[in-house]
Amino acid sequence: MSKITIVVCDHIHQTGLDILANDADINLINAADEPKDKLISDIIPLADVAITRSSTDVDQAFLDSAKKIKAVVRAGVGVDNVDIDGCSKKGIVVMNVPTANTIAAVELTMAHMLSCVRQFPYAHNNLKQDRVWRRQDWYGTELKDKKLGIIGFGNIGSRVGKRAKAFEMEVIAYDPYIDPRKATDCDIAYTTNFDDILACDIITIHTPKTEETIGMIGKDEIAKMRDGVVLINCARGGLYDEEALLEGLTSGKIHMAGIDVFNKEPATSHPLLELDNVTVTPHLGANTKESQRNIAIQAAENAIQAGKNIAYPNALNLPIKESELPDFLRPYLELTQKMGNLSAQATRCNIKSIKVVTQGDVSDYIDSLTTFATVGILTESLGSAVNYVNAEFVAQERDIKILKEKDVNRTGLNNKVTIKLVTENGNFTISGTVFGDEAQRIINIDGYELDLEPKGSLILFRNTDVPGVIGSVGTILANNNLNISDFRLGRDKNSQALAVVKVDGEVNKKVLNELSALEDCLSVTHVTI
């Protein structure tokens, strides 16, 4: 057996290098100090597995040179610099190390929180650099009895909550995708009302960076906050709208902000650095000796397992070869994932169970369809933390039941796939099929028959079926400069209707609030596919 070549593209802890070097089956190339152009042109073509960090982009140039790579291990959590779709097309497995830096990120969050309320960095500089002893200038506040709002209650957010309780803080968690008991069992309050978070003294965010979470704290949200609020972000840049954050800090609405991550990094000339009420660090969330050692160990072990075809821990994609799929199945897999994602966006709450029902020849592939449905559903809340390999395991960890049913085909369609969600707020059902070879269509949503292409920016508007409603909807959209590019309507036997309106332009909260205020509106939701 020839040796497996593992290329380490960026610096990792020596312990990880030792693990690789001491494996007799591994040929280690440590290219961390090589120029990037040489790495791409001369070294990557030799690799069976590559270990990267944020300094190496797994982009088109990287992939073009990856002649025989079977796996890329991102030594850390974020995969913003990895072209996962490009890797999938080449059959390259992408893995990350999602939990090795958890404690480091938790403790940095607490450090920023303490620095903000006591202004330690500024007091330190005043004494050490300016040689000024003025205790009266540095009166801070205490964490005790302050209300902390935590957005995102996963591995990091939940541990921040536990530590905040040790400081005798009042803690409230917002995460519509968890079982509330995860918070309440820790004596932490749980809310589904985002305004409860905005009313807190201190707010910290710990969510993945997804379409839903980018800019989730913006100008409107800051306006609702109490004067003198403290904001913390040690998660991902862009979760706070940075222009709104700058405005709030400049006006004094926000007393202090503790920021470890920026939308564009390195952020050496960012306007936030000019302010005296911001504590900043250069993306140090994973920068502890213990964290770096853990990351290196896990990355090395994952790379070895992938190189030897033993396992692909924390795989983020499905390296499936097109030739291995029946031609008719591929659009159904894509459609099912889209329907799952639409379902998650339409419900946006804690999911109890996912059931996939198939009719027709697709029933032979119900396991794969269920996996794609689960990925589509969980990606909305977990981002890249969920993948085709771990989807059902992640669901199990979150106490979500996965159910499958092969039904008799009585529809007259060749094939049909249905997803049934049971959530804490009710049920949601969606069905779809493929016409011809590639025409994906959603044909039923919650009992309303439709013929809908799963694509674009869609408003789901359910209403009592009376004259004039459609005209009112159109007027509101026109007044907000939203062009209707498609309109699909389904009606039921209970004098209710569901309109799915495809629009060009940004659907903001103002639009949804105006639609919701219509007298005959029963519910309104915006989804993007």
Q: Where are the domains of the chain?
A: 4-100+290-307, 102-280, 327-454, 456-529
Write out the CATH class of domain 4-100+290-307.
Answer: alpha beta
CA distance 363 to 406: 6
SS3 category, 359: strand
Neighbours of 475 (CB within 10 A): 12
Peptide bond into 208 cis (omega under 30): no
Residues in Cβ contact with 171 at an 8 Å cutoff, skipping those fewer than 6 apart: 147, 148, 150, 161, 164, 165, 188, 189
Residue where the block lists tokens 């959530």: 423
**Which pLDDT does position 325 carry in this prediction?**
63
DSSP structure class, residue 3: P
Assign residue 287 a region (left: φ > 0; alpha: ψ between -120 and 50; beta: otherwise). beta
Element (H, E) at 450: strand 448-452
Burial of 58 (0-12, 13-18, 19+ CB in 10 A): buried
Contact 418, 366 (CB under 8 A): no
Nearest CA to 392 out of 369, 375, 417 is that of 375
As to burial, measured by CB atoms within 10 angstroms (0-12 exposed, 13-18 middle, 19+ buried), residue 436 is exposed
Phi, psi of 388 (to 5 degrees): -70, -20
| Residue tagged active-site, from 112, 236, 462, 526 | 236
Domain 102-280 in the same topology as domain 4-100+290-307: yes
* pLDDT for the residue 322: 45
Question: CA-CA distances (angstroms) from residue 372 to 305, 500, 526?
Answer: 25, 24, 22
Distance CA 78, CA 316 (A): 11
CATH architecture, domain 102-280: 3-Layer(aba) Sandwich (3.40)
User: Of the residues 74, 112, 159, 283, which is catalytic?
Assistant: 283
CATH of 456-529, one of 3.90.1150.10, 3.30.70.260, 3.30.413.10, 3.40.980.10: 3.30.70.260
pLDDT of amino acid 210: 82
Hey, which residues does 28 pair with through a beta bridge? 6
Give the model confidence (pLDDT) of 278-321 as tens digits.
Answer: 999 999 998 899 999 999 999 999 999 888 877 778 888 865 54
488 is catalytic: no
Which CATH code of 3.10.20.30, 3.30.1330.90, 3.40.50.720, 3.30.70.20 fits the domain covering 327-454? 3.30.1330.90
Q: Which two structure tokens, joined as six digits, stand for 328?
A: 């008719």
What would the DSSP string read from start to end of 279-333? EE-SS-TT-SHHHHHHHHHHHHHHHHHHHTTS--TTB-S----GGGS-TTTHHHH
523, two tokens: 């519910």
Q: Contact at 8 Å (CB) between 76 and 98?
A: no
pLDDT in tens, the chain (529 residues): 589 999 999 999 999 999 999 999 999 999 999 999 999 999 999 999 999 998 899 999 999 999 999 899 999 887 878 998 888 778 788 999 988 889 999 999 999 999 999 999 999 999 999 999 989 888 999 999 999 999 999 889 999 999 999 999 999 999 988 889 999 999 999 999 999 999 999 999 999 888 889 999 999 999 999 999 999 999 999 999 999 999 999 999 999 999 999 999 899 999 999 999 999 999 999 889 999 999 999 999 999 988 887 777 888 886 554 445 677 888 999 899 999 999 999 999 999 999 999 999 999 899 889 989 998 999 888 876 777 767 887 888 889 999 999 998 887 888 999 999 999 999 999 999 999 878 999 999 999 999 999 999 999 999 999 999 999 999 999 999 999 999 999 998 888 999 999 999 889 999 999 999 999 999 999 999 8
Centroid of chain to Cα 452:
26
pLDDT for residue 321: 46
Catalytic residue among 142, 211, 243, 265: 265
**Active-site annotation holds for 283:** yes
CA atoms of 97 and 384, how far apart (whole Å): 12
Beta bridge mates, 63: none
Neighbours of 177 (CB within 10 A): 21
User: 383-408 pLDDT, tens per residue?
Assistant: 767 777 678 878 888 899 999 999 98
Quote the DSSP letter at residue 209.
Answer: -
Under DSSP, is residue 53 helix (H, G, I), strand (E, B) or coil?
Answer: coil
The pLDDT assigned to 323 comes to 44
Q: Name the token pair of 301.
A: 């072990």
Specify burial of residue 497 (Cβ count, 10 A radius: 0-12, 13-18, 19+). buried
Provide the terminal-to-terminal Cα distance of the chain, rounded to the nearest Å.
46
Active site includes 236? yes
